[in-house]
Amino acid sequence: MSVTMPPQHPVEDPKPTQGKSLTKAAKAKNTLTSPWATAAAIIIALVWTIPTVALFMTSLIPGDRYRTDAWWTVLADGGLTFDNFNQVLFDSFGDNSTAPPLLEYVFNSIVVTVPSVVFPVVLGLMAAYAFAWIPFRGSNFLFVLIFALQVVPLQLALIPLLRILGPDNLGLAGEFGGVWIAHTIFALPLSVFLLHNFVSHIPREVLEAARVDGASHTQMFFRIIIPLSLPAVASLAIFQFLWVWNDLLVSAVFGSANTYPLTYPISNLAGDYGQYAYLVPPAAFISMIIPLIVFFSLQRYFVRGLLAGSTKG
């Protein structure tokens, strides 16, 4: 999707260089900053932050007060407690007391996510190298096709792909293997495109020197392409990690009770306003902890990945 972005090196630091050399006066003139703009920025920042804080506070309300008391009321009388987290994680999470604990879904999310990140990144890098550096007939057409596939709604593929993975064919639907394959397929267009953007900007001399030395494609891939594209691989991996961890559709269609990740039971119980509704906020908060850690610790790479151009199929 970065097609209209400058066709330079895609992972350049987005930080400006010219801004730093400006004088203070020029800086001030350059911005729109006025008291109104500042006020608007603060309001936006608050509206974008408070809801998440409210989720955390709500998850601390004891179950018997969830219906009737708001979190600020419970906070004021000192009734907030971490009990819900214990109950959700280790006891049970669902519309009855025999439902499995959320911890089971935490593990499912990990098992679903990690291979679903590794597979498309490896396969994507291989294809990206071929499309960028090995001339062959149909190369351009195939690359444009893969690029176009990025925006095809994955809804279009769900029914037949489920049949292919289903009991009559591969027998992988409802298993982790089926979910991995589905996630891998849907990630490939973005993976190939994003890595191609990066790999194609490796200096030609580097590859030609190796070629002259008699290196084969395999040797070039392992000796040059992999080490040099690690930054792009990191960006893509983070992107794909957040995507898969937060996905609901693919897991709902290709998974089963044995494989459902965190999003699935939370989505189900969120619309159920019964006696276990108070378990939803703590569960939702738990589901966000890992992606938020990944996000805040690796934000730089994530932003680079976004800037390198990304739409998600």
Partner 1 sequence: MGSTALSGRSVIAAGDLGADFWASQGQNLLFAGVAIVAFIAIVALIMFGADLIKGGARDKVQLVVLVAPVLLLLGVGLIYPAVDTAWLSFNEITQAPDPDTGIYTTTMQFIGLDNYRFAFSDPSTLRTILNTFVWMILVPLLSTGFGLAYAVFIDRAKGEKVLKSLVFMPMAISLVGASVIWGNIMYDYNQVGEQTGMLNALRELVGLDPYNFLRDSPWNTFWLIVILVWIQTGFAMVILSAAIKGVPAEMNEAASLDGASAWQRFWRITVPSIRSTIVVVLTTITIMALKVYDIVRTVTQGRDNTDIVANRMYVLSFVEGREALGAALAVILFIFVIPVVVYNVRSLNKVKETH
Binding of partner 1 at residue 67 (CB under 8 A)? yes
Q: How far is the CB of 168 from partner 1 (least distance, A)?
A: 12
Beta strand ranges found along the chain (DSSP E): none
Closest CA to 252 of 174, 155, 166: 174
Binding of partner 1 at residue 192 (CB under 8 A)? yes
Q: How far is the CB of 98 from partner 1 (least distance, A)?
A: 12
Q: Which amino acid is at 184?
A: T
Q: How far is the CB of 206 from partner 1 (least distance, A)?
A: 18
Mention every residue, 6+ apart, whose C-beta is less than 8 A from residue 198. Answer: 9, 10, 11, 128, 229, 231, 232, 308
Binding of partner 1 at residue 233 (CB under 8 A)? no
Per-residue interface string for the shown chain with partner 1, residues 170-189, x marking contact by CB under 8 A: ------xx--xxx-xxx-xx
Binding of partner 1 at residue 18 (CB under 8 A)? yes
Q: Give, as ranges, the residues between 257 and 286 that touch partner 1 (CB under 8 A).
A: 262-263, 266-267, 270-271, 277, 280-281, 284-285
Q: Which is nearer to partner 1, 209 or 270 (CB)?
A: 270
Q: What are phi and psi of 126, to 5 degrees?
A: -60, -50
Give the Cα separation of 228 and 241 in Å (integer): 21
Mention every residue, 6+ apart, whose C-beta is less than 8 A from residue 5. Answer: 307, 309
Q: How far is the CB of 167 from partner 1 (least distance, A)?
A: 15
Binding of partner 1 at residue 86 (CB under 8 A)? yes
Give the Cα separation of 149 and 124 in Å (integer): 14
Structure tokens at 68: 């009737």
Q: Give, as ranges, the residues between 237 and 256 that touch partner 1 (CB under 8 A).
A: 242, 245-249, 252-253
Give the Cα separation of 66 and 313 in Å (integer): 38
Binding of partner 1 at residue 40 (CB under 8 A)? yes
Give the Cα separation of 286 and 108 in Å (integer): 14
The window from 1-9, 202-210, 227-235 that contacts partner 1 (CB under 8 A) reads 1-9
Among positions 14, 64, 167, 223, the unique one binding partner 1 when judged by CB under 8 A: 14
Closest CA to 213 of 200, 202, 224: 224
Structure tokens at 58: 């709500």
Q: Which is nearer to partner 1, 40 or 209 (CB)?
A: 40
Per-residue interface string for the shown chain with partner 1, residues 142-171, x marking contact by CB under 8 A: x-x-xxxxxxxxxxxxxxxx--x-------
Q: Which is nearer to partner 1, 129 or 198 (CB)?
A: 129
Q: How far apart are the first and last CA of the chain?
A: 11
Q: How far is the CB of 248 from partner 1 (least distance, A)?
A: 5
